[in-house]
C-alpha cells in the first residue's frame, strides 16, 4: 500500500464530502448552509489540487483539471458570499442561491474526480 496514494485518495474524498455537506439543503436558505463548511471545502480542495500536481499521466491531467474547476467554483462561491454580506447589504435568497449553485458546480467536478479515482484504482494491475 502506498502512503502517497492513501493521502491523495483521502483528500479527494474529503473534498467531495465537505462540498456535499455544504451543498445539501434548501438552495436559498442560509440557515442550512454553514459558511465555515464552505471555507473548509475551499481549503481542502486547494490541498487536493496541490497533491495532483505531481502526476504526469493523462488521467493525472484530468484529475488536475477537475480539481481546478472545483477550486474556481468554490472560490467564486466564497467571493459571492463575502460580497453579499459585506458590500451588497446582506445575504438575500438570490445571492444564497448563487453561492449554493456555484458549490453545486464544484460538487459535480469533485464527483468526476472521485469517479476517475475509482476507475483508476479498478484498472490498476499488480506487477
Domains of the chain, by residue range, sit at: 3-123
Q: In the prediction, which pLDDT does 126 show?
A: 58
Q: What is the mean pLDDT of residues 109-120?
A: 92
Name the CA radius of gyration of the chain, rounded: 16
What span, in angstroms and rounded, lies between the C-alpha atoms of 30 and 36?
Answer: 12
What single string gives the DSSP state of each residue in 95-126?
A: HHHHHHHHHHHHHHHHHHHHHHHHHHHHH---
Answer yes or no: is pLDDT of 5 > 80: yes
pLDDT in tens, 52-98: 887 788 888 899 999 999 999 999 999 999 999 888 788 888 999 99
Within 10 angstroms of residue 96's Cβ, the number of other Cβ atoms is: 21
Distances (CA, A) of 109 to 31, 85, 100, 112, 120: 25, 26, 14, 5, 16
* Whether the Cβ atoms of residue 66 and residue 112 lie closer than 8 Å to each other: yes
| Residue 10 C-beta-side C-alpha neighbours within 13 Å | 7
Q: What is the mean pLDDT of residues 10-25?
A: 93
pTM (2 decimals)?
0.88
What span, in angstroms and rounded, lies between the C-alpha atoms of 46 and 37?
Answer: 14
Amino acid at each position: 500500500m502506498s502512503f502517497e496514494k492513501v493521502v491523495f485518495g483521502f483528500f479527494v474524498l474529503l473534498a467531495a464530502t465537505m462540498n456535499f455537506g455544504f451543498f445539501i439543503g434548501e438552495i436559498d436558505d442560509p440557515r442550512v448552509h454553514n459558511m465555515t463548511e464552505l471555507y473548509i471545502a475551499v481549503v481542502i480542495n486547494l490541498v487536493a489540487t496541490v497533491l495532483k500536481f505531481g502526476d504526469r499521466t493523462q488521467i493525472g491531467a484530468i484529475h488536475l483539471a477537475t480539481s481546478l474547476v472545483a477550486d474556481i467554483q468554490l472560490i467564486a462561491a466564497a467571493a459571492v458570499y463575502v460580497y453579499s454580506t459585506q458590500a451588497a447589504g446582506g445575504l438575500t435568497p438570490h445571492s444564497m442561491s448563487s453561492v449554493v449553485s456555484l458549490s453545486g458546480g464544484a460538487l459535480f467536478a469533485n464527483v468526476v474526480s472521485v469517479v476517475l479515482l475509482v476507475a483508476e484504482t479498478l484498472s490498476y494491475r499488480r506487477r
